[in-house]
Amino acid sequence: MHFRRPIDYCRACGSPVEQRIPDDGDTRTRAVCPRCHTIHYENPLNVVGTVPVLGDKVLLCKRNIEPRRGKWTLPAGFMELQETTSEGAARETVEEAGAQFTLGPLFAVLNVPQAGQVHLFYRAQLHHADFAPGHETQEARLFTEDEIPWDEIAFRTVKATLECFFADRRQGQFGVHCVDIA
C-alpha cells in the first residue's frame, strides 16, 4: 500500500513547515510555512482507466512493474496534470495495452481513502483484438467472465469493477457504480 510522506519543507520558499491547524478557519492539521505562510494541502491522487470489451471478453493487462508485478489488471494509471479523467483513461489504455477503442461512459468510481486515491473506470469498446502492450505490461489478453484469473487480480479496485461490470452485463443494462474500498 502506498502512503505519502508528510510535507517537511515549504514548496514555495524551502523553509521547514509546521504541522498545525491554519489560522484561516480550517479545521484540519496542515503543513504551514511559518516564514511565507503558505498552507500546503494534500489531496487524493486519481487513478483512471477503462474496462475494454470485445464481444463477450474483457481486456486485462499483466503488470510488468511493481506493485503487483505479474498480476492482472485493467489498463489504468495515475492521471496527469492538464488532462481530463477520460483523456487519462484513454492514454493509459493506449500506453498499457496498445489497444484501439472507442471510449464509453464513466462506469465506476472507487474511493480508496487509506491509500489517498480515487479510481475512475470508463467502459470502452475495442475495435479489434490486436494489442501492442507498452513497457509496463507483460501481456495484454482478452478473457471471458469464466476465464478471469480472479486469484491473480492485482488490486481490489479492479476486482470490484469487474464484478460490477459482469453483474450489469447479466442484467442487460449498465449503471454508474460508487464503491468504497476499506
Determine phi and psi for 162, rounding to 5 degrees. Answer: -65, -40
Tens-digit pLDDT string for the chain (182 aa) = 445 678 999 999 999 999 999 988 899 999 999 999 999 999 999 999 999 999 999 999 999 999 999 999 999 999 999 999 999 999 999 999 999 999 999 999 999 999 999 999 999 999 999 999 999 999 999 999 999 999 999 999 999 999 999 999 999 999 999 999 99
SS3 of 87-117: HHHHHHHHHHHCCCEEEEEEEEEEEEHHHCE
User: Model's pTM, two decimal places?
Assistant: 0.90
- pLDDT for 24: 84
Structural domains in the chain plus CATH codes: 1-42 (2.20.70.10), 45-180 (3.90.79.10)
Determine phi and psi for 171, rounding to 5 degrees. Answer: -80, -15
Q: Please give the grid coordinates belonging to residue 12.
A: 514555495
CA distance 33 to 102: 46
Q: Please give the grid coordinates belonging to residue 154.
A: 492485482
For residue 94, give the nearest of 64, 126, 119, 69 by alpha carbon.
Answer: 126
Distance linking the first and last C-alpha atoms of the chain: 12
DSSP state of 6: P
- pLDDT for 170: 98
